[in-house]
Amino acid sequence: MPADGVVDRLAQLTLFADLRWPELEAVAHTFDEEVFGAGQRVLRQGISGGAFYVILEGEVAVVIDGNERSRLGRGDYFGEISALTGGVPVADIRAETLLRCLSLPGPQLEPFLLEHPTVMFRMLQAEARRLRDSNRWE
């Protein structure tokens, strides 16, 4: 059961921007809170059974085959691709600072999104943006 303060923090994240207070509270109680030290790994490339994470505080590096590809920070999330496709993570996620996250075991993401379609829409928007940016001709 995450802390009371977590609800306030959730309310500020784009992903959950459409939710009302009791819904936010339910979200806070559905997810687990996890804290990692700088350098600790959160998700591991090629290892099954991962979770979906939303960053409340701190920064992570996305590392593929040992090479850092990008950074994610507050309000960003990761692990959704393996959770949605049933595959294994394609990257290591490594905490670069003290990292506070909410997590949901992979198989629970689908029922969660079906219960919260506005969150699903926000996620779809973000995925669409990522796809657009990765297809942009330089």
Partner 1 sequence: MSAPDAGPSPPGDYEVVVVGSGPGGLQTSYCLARLGVRHAVVSADDGPGGMFRRFPLFERLISWTHSSADVPLHSREFEAHDQNSLVADEPHLRAFVPAQLAEGRRRPAREEMAAALAQFAERAQLPVRYGARWTATRRDEDGRLLLETDAGEYRCRAAVFAVGMTEPWVPRIPGLGLEHHYVNVERTSGRYRDRRVVIVGKRNSAFEVGEAVVRQGIRELTLVSPRPPDLGRLARSPLRPWYLTPYDEHVRGAPGRYVLNASVERVERVEDGYRVHTLDPTRPEPLVLEADDVVAATGFQAPLRDLPELGVATVLDGRLPALTPLFESVTAPGLFFAGNVTQAAQGLRKHGVASVSGMVCGFRYNARIVARHLAESLTGMTLERPAVEPARIVPYLLSELDRAPELAMQKGYLARVLSVSEHGVRDEGILPLEVFVDGEHDGVAATLEFDADEEIRPVLYVRRRGILREAVLPSHPLRRYEALAYREALDGLLRPLLET
- Tell me the closest approach of the beta carbon of residue 1 to partner 1, in angstroms: 6
- Are the C-beta atoms of residues 30 and 115 closer than 8 Å to each other? no
Q: How far is the CB of 63 from partner 1 (least distance, A)?
A: 12
Number of other residues whose CB lies within 10 A of the CB of residue 136: 7
Q: How far is the CB of 98 from partner 1 (least distance, A)?
A: 6
- 114 lies in the site for partner 1, by CB under 8 A: no
Other CB atoms within 10 A of residue 106 CB: 21
Q: Give the other-Cβ count within 10 Å of 46's Cβ.
A: 10
Q: Which one of 8, 14, 49, 121 is in contact with partner 1 (CB under 8 A)?
A: 49
Binding mask 54-83 for partner 1 (x = CB under 8 A): ------------------------------
C-beta separation of 96 from 59 below 8 A: yes
